[in-house]
Chains A and B, each alone.
Chain A
Amino acid sequence: MTKTITLAHGNGGAENQALIHEIFWKHLGNEILDRGEDAALLPTLTNPAMTTDSFTVSPLIFPGGDIGKLSICGTCNDLAMMGAKPKYLSLSVIVEEGFEARKLERIVRSMKKELSTNDAQIVSGDTKVVPKGTVDGLFINTTGIGEVQAPGIGVHNIQEGDAIIVSRDIGRHGATIFVSREGLEMQSSLQSDCASLWPQVASLLDTGIRPHALRDATRGGLAAVLNEWAAANELCIEVEEGAIPVSEEVRGICEMLGFEPTALANEGAFVMALDPKDVPMALEILEAFPGCESAALIGTVTQSHPGRVVLQSEWGTRRFLELPTGELLPRIC
């Protein structure tokens, strides 16, 4: 393998074969992929679920993860949020000419690690190399197929009286990416929360808990999830502001830059609506996972302001929590 990826690696010929074999198959190979057919032949699944997502992130490698880990977690987590065990993924990669081969291999290796956490496989793949400047390093698309383990999980199953739980402290991924972007000279020990969520969901389902809805709070953060849920059901979600778990680091960054932790992206935190009687058990299960020690009950579903999310402060005042809009920009004053 050459030191950098060249346009020749996307030619469909010998260099292309070398790239596929020496970087992708070497780490991701399995019985289905190794056949090298035009399409993967899959066993029959009962209750299959499917999702797709494309990944671009700058920087490609960030504290707590990289685009490879993200591209597996992101798709597997979308399956997990429907109660589906992730099983088969496709992987489509667009590489910028001149990309370092070792860096690409590092990214593929972290995909491998994350696939094993989910006990899932890459069964189909594609690689394109494009001229320098046409993509920002590396773009990845993954599509995933999973098998639903517990039917009936979905946004429209949220009911009045449901409890709302968040699985860990929020805002880490968004804050980490913001700090590591070029031009922001800030030092921080903060790490992205980027993680696969299927193990947590599987544990919840194994003990018989049947969440009404699950959603990973990615772009738009907790605020977006709660607003989407409230709007979809014409119900109100009332949240105790003081109960929302936020780490000191994230809070500090938000203070300095004028952000709200609730609007920051997460890659390993999810929100759950469930029967209030299941709350103690659900929290006990979540708290056992590393990073989720701060899992918390943050609110309830009511009728008070249909379609809206209401934040209750610790000193008795109330306000709406809005859906974040536009680009995240620091306030000036």
Chain B
Amino acid sequence: MGTTVKLELKNLYDDFRDPATIKALSALIHEEAAKLDRDIRIMEVCGGHTHTIMKYGLKQLMPQKIRFIHGPGCPVCIMPKERIDHAYILAMQEDVILVTLGDMIKVPGSHGSLQDARSRGADVRFVYSPLDTIKIARENPDNRVVFFAIGFETTTPMTAAMIARAEKLELKNLLVHVNHVTVPEVMRELIDSRDEHIDSYNNRIDAFIGPSHVSVIAGAKIYEEFPQKYGRPVVVSGFEPVDVMEGVLMLVRQFVQNRCELEIQYRRSVTMDGNVAAQKQIGRYFEKRPLFKWRGLGNIPDSALKLRDEYAHIDAEVIYGDILPIEEIEDHKLCICGDILRGMAEPTECQVFGTACTPQKPLGSCMVSSEGACAAYYKYGDLLK
């Protein structure tokens, strides 16, 4: 008879926050970094990593030579105002119940946030899983339920699963407004294209920590081009402090050993190919959107998804096409989010940081959610600086 081991929730995080392990990894990073002859700027692409780095103070454990550049991987932060206006307008329709995920509801658009819409009488709900939207649609057959879908490759399969389920149940009152975005295109954009807003080709990104939950779905292979074509090593890392520290150590070792590779730190969930079944389901409902505007970065080709034409009957953008504006709304002139995302500036260098721009009243994308660089700096401070 074998012993039964009961897996508890804490087993999923306790060891990955072990103080002794974190300290040991910090010592190893210092030791390796001493061999470097230059500074290394590492972009953690995903907002989840930014959150971990700031919340656990990992920046303070890094040697001088290692700097973090906080990337654009927060789906709430990068949502342009015009899309938030869509959500607001849809929510304000008499018969619409607007459903979305978590902190999307506090992001301000031109008319206010979804929270404001709710206080003005709109029926806005947030769910933990897109599949919960099915229940709302079934319980409210006389309403149109619009799911405002946001997120990277990680959340797209859940939206696809929701659509599959709705089709199977022949639900007639469930529509989708798709704002799913993809990671590799924005990484490419940060490295090699020009930002028309600040007229700059520059970036200071030497290496990437790759978003791991994205790779659970899409596979680590989506980052292959960065070491191969752009000379930027990538380590796909988990989100706990030990994961991020180990990811940094692996990157530093690549520089010390003159390697430039794609490596996986988050081996407990990530493979090269990812979740092929999920990828297939995404492909069934979605296709690339030719152009999508990212708040702070501008239009990026092929960086988002839309519903395929055969699903136009559930596409809120099509059905409400005549009331949803398509004009672009410029980012705030004083906002330097574009520079921050390229590693050209620190949040604290922005003249409106913490004054005109705060998490309660964000002007720019990086201040919007706690995963944005500015909001994380504002919230957690930078005490050893």
User: In the assembled complex, which residues on chain A have CB atoms less than 8 Å from the CB atom of B155?
Assistant: 332
Whether B369 and A331, one on each chain, are in contact in the complex, defined by CB atoms closer than 8 angstroms, is yes
The residues in B between 332 and 385 inclusive whose CB is less than 8 angstroms from any CB of A are: 359-360, 369-371, 379-381, 383-384
Say how far B154's CB is from chain A's closest CB, in angstroms. Answer: 8
Knowing A319-B381, A330-B103, A331-B370, say if A183 contacts B127 (CB, 8 Å).
yes
Which of A252, A257, A318, A326 has a CB less than 8 Å from the CB of B9? Answer: A252
Whether B61 and A317, one on each chain, are in contact in the complex, defined by CB atoms closer than 8 angstroms, is yes
Whether B19 and A315, one on each chain, are in contact in the complex, defined by CB atoms closer than 8 angstroms, is yes
Contact with B along A281-320 (1 / 0, CB 8 A): 0000000000000000000000001001010011111111
* Complex CA–CA separation, A326 to B103 (angstroms): 10
Which size bracket describes the interface of A in this complex? 20 to 34
The residues in B between 1 and 59 inclusive whose CB is less than 8 angstroms from any CB of A are: 8-10, 12-13, 19, 22-23, 26, 46-48, 51, 54-58
Knowing A248-B8, A320-B379, A320-B383, say if A330 contacts B102 (CB, 8 Å).
yes
The residues in B between 204 and 262 inclusive whose CB is less than 8 angstroms from any CB of A are: 213, 241
User: In the assembled complex, which residues on chain B have CB atoms less than 8 Å from the CB atom of A332?
Assistant: 75-76, 101-104, 150-151, 155, 369
Q: CB of A184 within 8 A of chain B? A: yes
* Complex CA–CA separation, A206 to B238 (angstroms): 52
Judged by DSSP, the binding face of A is loop
Count residues on chain B whose CB falls below 8 Å from chain A CBs. Answer: 52
User: In the assembled complex, which residues on chain A have CB atoms less than 8 Å from the CB atom of B360?
Assistant: 325-326
Whether A248 and B10, one on each chain, are in contact in the complex, defined by CB atoms closer than 8 angstroms, is yes
Whether B106 and A329, one on each chain, are in contact in the complex, defined by CB atoms closer than 8 angstroms, is yes
Q: CB of B60 within 8 A of chain A? A: yes
Say how far A195's CB is from chain B's closest CB, in angstroms. Answer: 26
User: In the assembled complex, which residues on chain A have CB atoms less than 8 Å from the CB atom of B56?
Assistant: 313, 315, 317
* Complex CA–CA separation, A134 to B384 (angstroms): 52
Say how far B86's CB is from chain A's closest CB, in angstroms. Answer: 18
Whether A319 and B51, one on each chain, are in contact in the complex, defined by CB atoms closer than 8 angstroms, is no
Which A residues fall within an 8 A CB radius of B? 183-184, 242, 248, 251-252, 255-258, 305, 308, 310, 313-320, 322, 325-327, 329-333
- In the assembled complex, 26 residue pairs joining A and B whose CB atoms fall closer than 8 Å, in A order, are A183-B132, A242-B19, A248-B9, A248-B10, A255-B9, A258-B102, A310-B383, A313-B56, A315-B61, A317-B60, A318-B57, A318-B384, A319-B55, A319-B57, A319-B383, A320-B381, A320-B383, A322-B379, A326-B106, A326-B115, A329-B105, A331-B369, A331-B370, A331-B371, A332-B103, A332-B369
Closest 9 CB pairs of A and B: A317-B57, A314-B19, A333-B48, A320-B381, A252-B9, A319-B380, A330-B102, A315-B22, A315-B19
